[in-house]
Structure 1
Amino acid sequence: MSDYPPQSPPPPAAGTPQPPLSDADAQQWAGLSHLLGGILGFLAPLVIWLVYKDRSGYVAAESKRALNFQLLVTVGYVVSYVLMIVLIGYLTWLALWVLSIYFGYTNFQAVNQRRATTYPVDVQIIK
Structure 2
Amino acid sequence: MSYEPQQPRPDYRSDGGYGPGRPDPRSAQYQGDPRTGSSGPQDDEKTVAVLTHLSGPIAAIVSVGWLGFLGPLIVWFIYKDKSPFLRAASAGAFNFNVTLWLLNVVGWICIFTFILIPVGIVLIAAYWIMLLVCHIMAAVKASRGEVYRYPMQLPILH
Fold agreement, TM-score > 0.5: yes
Report the TM range for the smaller structure's normalisation: 0.7 to 0.9
TM-score, with structure 1 as normaliser:
0.75
User: Equivalents in 2 of 1:50, 1:32: separation in Å?
Assistant: 15
* Structure 1 residue ranges, 4+ long, deviating more than 6 angstroms after superposition: none
Change (3 A) 1:25 1:67: same
Larger Rg: 1
User: Equivalents in 2 of 1:75, 1:47: separation in Å?
Assistant: 19
Cα RMSD of the aligned pairs, angstroms, is: 1.6
User: Equivalents in 1 of 2:147, 2:70: separation in Å?
Assistant: 23
User: Equivalents in 2 of 1:24, 1:114: separation in Å?
Assistant: 8
The corresponding residue for 1:51 is: 78
User: Equivalents in 2 of 1:79, 1:123: separation in Å?
Assistant: 15
Judging by fraction of residues, say which structure has more helix. 1
TM-score, with structure 2 as normaliser:
0.62
Matched, 1:60 2:79: no
User: Equivalents in 1 of 2:149, 2:157: separation in Å?
Assistant: 16
Equivalent residue pairs, number: 106
Query: Offset at 1:36?
Result: 1.4
Deviations 1:73-100 (A, max 9, x none): 0111111111113212122112211211
Structure 2: which 5+ runs fail to align?
A: 1-40, 60-67
Q: Is the 8 A contact 2:89 2:147 kept in 1?
A: no
